[in-house]
């Protein structure tokens, strides 16, 4: 027997009363605060017809920071200008935005306060509303403006110094000039909006069709829709979760490490803590949580996060699209997740099967369709993944730093490595079709791995149409020796190709992985292995294709 509900208040009450089967009647349900399930067992929540749980409202709260609007259920973006394409790992250099006003030194490098630009029109903008975007390699970064002043016939725009300093003190992907400026009033055009952050006002310019036929603007106010902790045997079925925002980047900037995992401004320059973008559905320390035939769409950060302590979770036959960040994130990304104090914290035996995951990373371009960190026995089967800003499936974390071989890596600072393997092992990626990924970023792949993960198998996947098909294909395993710099091959600099590498990419310290029976077409490099100088580590992997004999032609000066 089920309990029938037709309002959010009724749904919250039914959950509090520990009903075991709740049926939500067809309708559009707006929420300000997420549904919270804590210590709930044996519950099934099913949508009867078209059920939408939305974090958006028709009236904007002045204190909220929407990163998108939804007009007639179509995402609309902030106004933008001065956009240029990033080139491989290169920091952007451009004559119209020049570093200006060195404030201090960090690791012998100048740290600047802002940019000098000849775009005199920017002097009329409120500088605190401007969002500077920096795409570098596989990362997207952001810092907010702070102040502006005229400097002859140019304009000096100072950025929020703490945000900007964090971006300049990154290592490989530290920022250069911006690749785009967002939230400019003068750049407003049809189908875009401008947010005056201090006034708490939104200005939107409708399209001709919207003026003619009418339009409804929805303002996302909620960042999360459902939170589960310490739960068991929970099932959501036939429910749409939509319309969230994520306020942090618009307030604090965004310093991405990889795959939208980022460095928190409040943690300081030397912190190694990894933050996970907020998610519409956030599950932790729970067992047997299932999302079946659900939709996750028009979301402001991550779709679903199955975090620390989740076991036997399932995401089956769901549709996940128009997501600002990653579609699905699984597991943790800290050293404690690699070497947990107890088994309760291990992320174990997640099943992600038969889902359609597309249009991912529409705001935060470092996003993956599926990102799994330190996980054990995850199964990723028969998913269709496409139109992804960065990587299709990313499996593993750590670049070998928490593996027993960490001290052997050519540039490692680890002196006393862990003596035991991590919990990252026995994972299985099978039967997925992945195409048109890396639409915005560089140095990713259809399937990408990191670190030792014994017993992991990547098989029967179809990866295609990632990058530029005019390049001569590299069909065998290209082994990049990162300790040999400035290398040229007979294919030129493979790493400069659009969509590089694009196929299956075993990155730093990937070990214990079997790769077999995969079909790869129309990518920059079918198989790519990143050798960091650890003796014998490549040989711990098993491939059904051969490595290139000796691709190196010369060493560049």
- If you average pLDDT over every residue of the chain, what do you get? 94
Q: What is the pLDDT of residue 556?
A: 38
Residue 550: per-residue pLDDT = 59
How far is Cα 443 from Cα 496, in angstroms, rounded to an integer? 9
- Residue 147's nearest CA partner among 161, 128, 165 is 128
What tokens does 364 get? Answer: 């935060």
Q: Report which of residues 200 and 498 the model is more confident about.
A: 200
d(CA 477, CA 528): 6
Q: What is the pLDDT of residue 555?
A: 40
H/E segment holding residue 52:
strand 41-54
Q: Angle CA(340)–CA(343)–CA(347) in degrees, nearest 5?
A: 80
Higher-confidence residue of 440 and 180: namely: 180
Res 484: pLDDT: 64
pLDDT single digits (tens) 219-240: 999 999 999 999 999 999 999 9
252 vs 262: CA distance, rounded Å: 12
- Where are the domains positioned within the chain? 25-50+219-555, 56-79+188-218, 81-182
Concatenated DSSP letters of 402-438: TSTTGGGSTT---SS--SS--S-B--EEES-EEEEE-
Query: Cα dist. 176→87, 99, 320, 384, 486 in Å?
Result: 12, 8, 33, 36, 21
Mean pLDDT of 75-82: 98
Q: Is the peptide bond before 501 cis (omega within 30 degrees of 0)?
A: yes
Strand locations in 460-550 (E): 462-466, 477-481, 487-489, 501-506, 511-516, 519-523, 525-531, 542-543
- Name, in order, each residue with C-beta under 8 angstroms of 171's C-beta and a sequence gap of 6 or more: none
- Residue 472 per-residue DSSP state: P
Q: Which two tokens stand for residue 107?
A: 């690791």
The domain 25-50+219-555 having CATH identifier 2.160.20: the answer here is yes
Top-confidence residue, 273 or 428:
428
Query: Is the separation of the CB atoms in 257 and 281 below 8 Å?
Result: no
Non-local CB neighbours of 135 within 8 Å, separated by 6+ positions: 86, 92, 141, 179, 180, 365, 440, 441
The predicted-structure confidence for 139-176, as pLDDT tens digits, reads as follows 999 999 999 999 999 999 999 999 999 999 998 899 99
User: 542: which residues sit within 8 A by CB, 6+ positions away?
Assistant: 513, 514, 515, 516
Give, in order, the Cα–Cα distances in Å from 149 to each of 114, 176, 186.
11, 21, 18
Band of residue 473 on the pLDDT scale cut at 50, 70, 90 = confident
Least confident range from 127-141, 230-244, 248-262, 495-509: namely 495-509
């Amino acid at each position: 027997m089920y309990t029938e509900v037709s309002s959010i208040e009724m749904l919250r009450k039914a959950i509090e009363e520990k009903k075991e089967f709740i049926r939500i009647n067809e309708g559009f349900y707006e929420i300000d605060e997420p549904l919270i399930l804590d210590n709930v067992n044996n519950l099934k929540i099913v949508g009867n017809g078209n059920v939408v749980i939305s974090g958006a409202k028709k009236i904007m709260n002045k204190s909220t920071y929407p990163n998108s609007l939804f007009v007639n259920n179509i995402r609309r973006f902030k106004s933008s200008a001065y956009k240029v394409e990033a080139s491989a790992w290169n920091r952007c250099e451009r004559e119209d935005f020049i570093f200006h006003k060195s404030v201090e030194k960090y690791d012998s490098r100048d740290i600047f306060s802002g940019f000098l630009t000849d775009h005199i029109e920017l002097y009329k903008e409120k500088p605190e509303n401007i969002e500077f975007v920096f795409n570098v390699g596989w990362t997207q970064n952001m810092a907010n403006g702070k102040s502006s002043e005229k400097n002859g016939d140019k304009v000096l725009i100072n950025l929020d110094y703490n945000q900007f300093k964090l971006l300049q003190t990154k290592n490989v992907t530290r920022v250069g000039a911006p690749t785009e400026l967002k939230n400019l009033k003068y750049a407003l055009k049809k189908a875009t909006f401008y947010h005056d952050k201090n006034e708490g006002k939104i200005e939107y310019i409708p399209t001709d069709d919207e003026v003619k036929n009418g339009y409804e603007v929805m303002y996302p106010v909620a960042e999360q829709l459902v939170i589960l902790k310490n739960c068991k045997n929970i099932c959501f079925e036939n429910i749409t979760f939509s319309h969230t925002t994520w306020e942090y980047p618009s307030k604090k900037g965004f310093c991405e490490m990889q795959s939208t995992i980022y460095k928190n401004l409040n943690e300081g320059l030397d912190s190694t803590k990894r933050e996970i973008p907020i998610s519409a559905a956030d599950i932790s320390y729970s067992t047997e949580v299932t999302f079946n035939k659900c939709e996750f769409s028009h979301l402001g950060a991550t779709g679903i996060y199955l975090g620390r302590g989740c076991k036997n979770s399932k995401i089956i036959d769901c549709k996940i699209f128009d997501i600002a960040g990653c579609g699905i994130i699984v597991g943790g990304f800290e050293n404690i997740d690699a070497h947990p104090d107890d088994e309760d914290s291990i992320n174990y035996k997640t099943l992600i099967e038969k889902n359609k995951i597309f249009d991912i990373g529409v705001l935060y371009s470092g996003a993956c369709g599926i990102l799994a960190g330190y996980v054990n026995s995850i199964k990723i089967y028969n998913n269709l993944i496409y139109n992804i800003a960065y990587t299709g499936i990313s499996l593993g974390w750590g670049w070998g730093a928490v593996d027993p071989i960490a001290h052997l890596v050519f540039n490692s600072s680890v002196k006393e490595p862990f003596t035991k393997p991590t919990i990252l092992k026995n994972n299985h990626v099978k039967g997925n079709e992945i195409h048109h990924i890396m639409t915005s970023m560089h140095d990713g792949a259809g399937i990408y791995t990191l670190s030792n993960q014994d017993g992991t198998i990547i098989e029967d996947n179809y990866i295609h149409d990632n990058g530029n098909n005019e390049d001569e294909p590299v069909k065998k395993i290209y082994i990049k020796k990162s300790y040999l710099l400035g290398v040229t091959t007979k294919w030129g600099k493979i790493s400069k190709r659009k969509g590089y590498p694009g196929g299956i990419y075993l990155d730093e310290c990937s070990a214990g992985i079997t790769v077999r029976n995969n079909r790869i077409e129309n990518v920059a490099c079918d198989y790519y292995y990143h050798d960091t100088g650890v003796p014998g580590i490549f040989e711990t992997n098993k491939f059904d294709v051969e490595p290139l004999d000796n691709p190196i032609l010369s060493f560049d000066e």
